[in-house]
Amino acid sequence: MNAKLLLKTLELSSPHSEIKSESILQNRKVPINKILTFLGKQGYITEDNKRKRTISNFRINLAIFGIVNLNIQPSQVINYLKWQEFEEFCLYVLEQHDFSCIKNFRFKRKKKRFEIDIVGIHQPYILCIDAKLWRIRSGKSTALKKAVERQIIRTQALSDVISRYFDKLPISNWNNAIFIPILTTSMNEGIKAHKKVPIIPFYQLNNFIADFNEITDDLPQFKVKVPKCGVQTKLIF
């Protein structure tokens, strides 16, 4: 598959991970057999009652394939992706590395409401991930830095009140928990970190998680004890 055909596949596929066959067939310039053959070889197609269906996350994986193997710029694929797909991809990557995940985790601290896009749990780590699907626009560097600072606040807030949420977070039997703020973005923004918080392009997220245990000491951490009677918090840079 070449870059042009991959982009056309993203354009004509639905945001719910199924190819819109009628749309592709109406476009006589698109070689449907080449698309289906390629998706089958990549493992993105399964057969259900002799009907071909694409697997979940195929569009985001297709986008990553284009970026990594066909030298497609992230800015070329990002307009075809939905924010739901972006978050689902992050969940998928974490789960492949044995993290339990919660999406859109809401909680309160001192009567203030917070929400973290994705919480990834793998003892003793709790990754607090902010997933930023941004289109091309100016001022991204400043916005990213502000997003990092807000994510640090959210992560610390969750670590402060974690004992209230044992019913939602399966960590009540842990002795310690380490909370780490992370941002993953739709594009390579040219900033790898701010205040030591990693800023990861989505197509590099899998490699980051795979190497996670080797780099944890370099990341900002909220280390807390998880006793029955309460939690103390300390931020370490």
pLDDT of residue 224: 93
Distance CA 142, CA 140 (A): 6
Q: What is the pLDDT of residues 194-215, one digit of tens each?
A: 999 999 988 889 899 999 989 9
CB within 8 Å of 28: residues ≥ 6 apart = none
Residue 159 to residue 182: CA distance in whole angstroms: 15
Confidence of residue 21 (pLDDT cuts 50, 70, 90): very low
What would the pLDDT profile of 114-144 be if each residue is shown by its tens digit?
A: 999 999 999 999 999 999 887 655 557 888 8
CB 113 within 8 A of CB 158: no
pTM of the model: 0.77
Phi then psi for residue 65, to 5 deg, are -60, -45
Q: Which CATH architecture has domain 83-236?
A: 3-Layer(aba) Sandwich (3.40)
Please name the amino acid found at residue 131: A
Q: How many Å is the Cα radius of gyration of the chain?
A: 20
- Token pair of 62, please? 């297709």
Residue ranges, comma separated, of all CATH 3.40.1350 domains in the chain are 83-236
Inter-residue contact 124 to 177 (CB < 8 Å): yes
More confident residue, 100 or 34: 100
pLDDT of residue 200: 93
Q: What is the pLDDT of residues 37-76, one digit of tens each?
A: 776 776 666 555 444 444 456 777 788 888 888 888 877 8
